[in-house]
Structure 1
């Protein structure tokens, strides 16, 4: 390991301590010792849409995690793309899930998140064979989430215009620990079948 990518073992600069006990350096994400458990729990304890989800069935506010979003998306992905779909939000495990409208106002944040995402994908050996395919799948998920988990104002969001939602309704799990367990189970299952 080069000095530039050597892991750090204490808080220096823009660094956070992860649940695994290792450190994550935003200036050197490639050298950070991120674990799959850090990813699973990081995504499971973050809500999509800044926590503003509402069930279309009950009209009640619900918790819908980034981890569940990734698991559902991996289920819809074609063979050869499933692991990339599961891990497509890996950067959010450390950076958080900032809403896209706010993220559009923060170009420096977007650059840091993209670098963290690339480092995470590399660390876990995930190759995205088609970024366009993953993006299209993500936008179909967004259209499905708007239909099932957001209050209806009668408008379709511009980012999903023309995208067909998936048929199956999303039922939020609401238990972050269960979402983390399901994420890890999906990760191991995809590894076993060579995805």
Structure 2
């Protein structure tokens, strides 16, 4: 395959299945630790990923969701900001589909581990971040999804976070994500 064809498709498989990132860097999906991705690549990808497979009231990015979760977590807000960072490179796959794809879950875990190591955050799952994520999820669903979508939260006694979905544009979400990252450094 010629370089020009690789450039057009932005996918190559010479070393391993790879994608070209916004920065122009190649990311090897099977060896993310060896790839030179940046926080800007993550912010860009998350800002352009719509949550809920796009089946919500309006465009709502993973970047905005990540900001809301980070705002709720006191002990490690940077890890909270990056809790879904793998989705910048892999997409936001709906939970029911993820459960059907065990190989995907392994790839996602490895990608998240590479991100954690790159940015100096724990590779262990944090109960505080998981709680905040669920609380934000419950609040989001009550605000931007059809009535009844958040019934699971009531059943599981998850108190929705006191947050407001703002439907930031991708440009606004990316900028806010990068500002939050800088503030946490």
Q: What TM-score results when the alignment is normalised by the length of structure 1?
A: 0.83
Which of 158, 169, 174 aligns to 1:180? It is 174
Contact 1:18 1:38 in 2 (8 A): yes
> How far 1:127 moved relative to its partner?
2.4
The size of the alignment, in residue pairs, is 173
* 1:86 matches 2:89: no
- 1:69 and 2:72 correspond: no
Q: Give the match for residue 59 of structure 1.
A: none
Partner of 1:136: 131
Secondary structure of the structure 2 residue equivalent to 1:181: helix
- C-alpha RMSD of the superposition: 1.9
CA distance in structure 1 between the partners assigned to 2:99 and 2:153 by the alignment: 14
Contact 2:132–2:161 at 8 Å: present in 1 too? no
Do 1:140 and 1:160's aligned partners in 2 also have CA atoms closer than 8 Å? no
| 1:178 CA drift (Å) | 1.1
**Structure 1, 148-157 or 12-21: larger mean CA deviation:** 148-157
Name the SS for the 2:19 alignment partner. Answer: strand
Give 5+ residue unaligned stretches, structure 1.
Answer: 1-9, 55-61
Residues 160 and 128 (structure 1), Cα distance of their counterparts in 2 relative to 1, 3 Å cut: farther
Q: Which runs of 5+ in 2 are unaligned?
A: 1-10
Corresponding residue number in structure 2 for 1:47: 50
Measure, in 2, the Cα distance between the counterparts of 1:157 and 1:82.
26
